[in-house]
Amino acid sequence: MNRSDDDAQALRAMASELGLRRTPPPAEPATDDVDEAWVEGMLDAVVRRARGVAPRDDAEDVGDGGALVSPHQGTVLPRVGTPRRSPVRRGWFALAAGVALLLGVGGSIVVHPQEAVAAPPLLSFSAVAPGSPTPTSGTPARAELLALADVAGRQPAAPRSPLATVQHVSTQQWRLEVTHGADDVEAITVRPTADDSWLGPDGDLRLREVATAPEFSPTGELVGRSTPGDLLRNETVRAGERGAAWPSTLPRDPGALFERLVAASQASSVVDPTPPTSVLLAEIEALFGRWVVPPDLTSSLWVALADRPDVRSLGQVTDRAGRAGQGFSHWNAQDKTLEVVIIDPVTGSLLATEGMYFPPQGADEPADGAKPVVSSFTTYLSVQWVPAP
């Protein structure tokens, strides 16, 4: 008996345990093709068996000729929702057995290559209809941002012992990555990670990135091989011109601060420059992602944001780490993305940032009623001074 026979017997035994039997073949000459419905139905049963899920009872008739039938329920197992393939007789049974082995070893589940990752749910904001944010959602944000600037400015500096010379930031995020391949074709990937950075007084920046899930496409299909816990990055680089003391060099006057952060970026892109508010938000995200931002600088950042007329208040929200916050948004028409920041109402510090992408439907602007998807987010879990390792 060869390996193929062993696999066939193992899979038949599993089918028997599932209470499945094969219907009599049709009264017609045999062909070299296997009924695709039977193959896919068996794969579906194997996967459900391995995961401890009962066979589906919402089946639709897929015809006879080798369909799998449950004598207990009298229903036909449905075809799996995968693209149709040309049936190939040789090797299909070994493939099914291989799936069973992968899913069943040690009781663990191995991710199926075509399995989809559900996008994170949209956050619920008190000033937005549930599940229905739009580019113009919310109310004018100036008064609320000025109040938060006042809160931030009254906070004490972060605790720091004499030996604490390193700025440590810990985040969790879904990062949107865009790479350019042949003929300048873009590949867009979402990468879920947990990130840590340590910025030393000498400008050395240690970066550590760990996968929290496999990479996936914007449509939710897995496209990467990373598994939770995989170390993706662990290196030390130079921080460059923006060293450990860079926040102390920034002006505290909100107008001057805005010009300092935005002017250089705008000047470097004369054609189709990034919207100024988007640049400011990106700089805010970068600041909180590397430095322990002083309270007075945080206050000035919120005043600078309050001075932007295209910023909206989304109301109260609970961020993805379960913390209460106040949400604010800016519509980036270039990227069709609603850029969101969430601020702690008690301390005035930045809790999280999000991007909600509105897929255009044949026009530059999203259609009325278009539903966004969360394209990226970052939650700032810990920002503190720590001793050098």
**pLDDT, tens only, 246-260:** 999 999 999 999 999
Q: What is the pLDDT of residue 37?
A: 52
Centroid of chain to Cα 84: 29
One domain for residues 280 and 344: yes
Give the type of residue at 226. S
Average pLDDT over residues 268-293: 86
Whether residue 84 is contained in a domain is answered as yes
Q: What distance in Å separates the CA atoms of residue 264 and residue 259, rounded to the nearest whole number?
A: 8
* Per-residue confidence band for 300, with pLDDT thresholds at 50, 70 and 90: very high
Give the type of residue at 318. T
Within 10 Å of residue 125's Cβ, how many Cβ atoms?
Answer: 24
Whether residue 150 is contained in a domain is answered as yes
- Residue with the larger pLDDT of the pair 57 and 221: 221
Q: What is the pLDDT of residue 198?
A: 97
- Give the end-to-end CA distance of the chain in Å, rounded to a whole number: 60
Cα distances from 114 to residues 108, 121, 222, 223, in angstroms, run 18, 21, 6, 9
φ/ψ of residue 21, rounded to 5: -135, 160
Q: What distance in Å separates the CA atoms of residue 1 and residue 55, rounded to the nearest whole number?
A: 31
Record the pTM. Answer: 0.67
Whether residue 54 is contained in a domain is answered as yes
3-state secondary structure 97-110: HHHHHHHHHHHCCC
Q: What is the pLDDT of residue 168?
A: 98
One domain for residues 231 and 274: yes
DSSP 229: T
As a whole number, the mean pLDDT across the chain is: 75
Q: What is the pLDDT of residue 389?
A: 81
Whether residue 374 is contained in a domain is answered as yes
Q: How many residues does the chain have?
A: 389
Q: Which of 347, 308, 346, 357 is nearest to 328 (CA)?
A: 308
Q: How many helices (H) and strands (E) does the chain have?
A: 8, 12
Average pLDDT over residues 122-140: 93
Q: For residue 223, is pLDDT > 70?
A: yes
One domain for residues 288 and 182: yes
Q: What is the pLDDT of residue 338?
A: 95
One domain for residues 313 and 253: yes
One domain for residues 358 and 267: yes
Whether residue 120 is contained in a domain is answered as no
DSSP 183: G
Domain of 20 in residue numbering reads as 3-107
Q: For residue 20, is pLDDT > 80?
A: no
DSSP 7: H
Q: What is the pLDDT of residue 115?
A: 44
Q: What distance in Å separates the CA atoms of residue 227 and residue 211, rounded to the nearest whole number?
A: 6
Average pLDDT over residues 308-328: 97
φ/ψ of residue 176, rounded to 5: -85, 120
Number of domains present in the structure of the chain: 2
Instruction: Give residue-wise pLDDT tens across range 160-174.
Output: 999 999 999 999 998
Q: Which of 332, 207, 318, 221 is nearest to 280 (CA)?
A: 332
Place of tokens 């995200």: 285
Instruction: Give residue-wise pLDDT tens across range 26-85.
Output: 444 444 444 455 445 544 544 444 444 444 444 433 333 333 333 333 323 222 233 333
Encoded tokens for 64: 């006879």
One domain for residues 255 and 188: yes
Beta strands in the chain (DSSP E): 21-22, 68-69, 139-140, 164-180, 186-199, 204-211, 231-238, 311-318, 324-332, 337-343, 350-357, 373-387
Task: Please name the residues in contact with 309: beta carbons below 8 A apart, sequence gap of 6 or more.
Answer: none
Whether residue 311 is contained in a domain is answered as yes
One domain for residues 345 and 223: yes
Task: Please name the residues in contact with 313: beta carbons below 8 A apart, sequence gap of 6 or more.
Answer: 127, 138, 139, 140, 141, 144, 145, 326, 327, 328
One domain for residues 221 and 364: yes
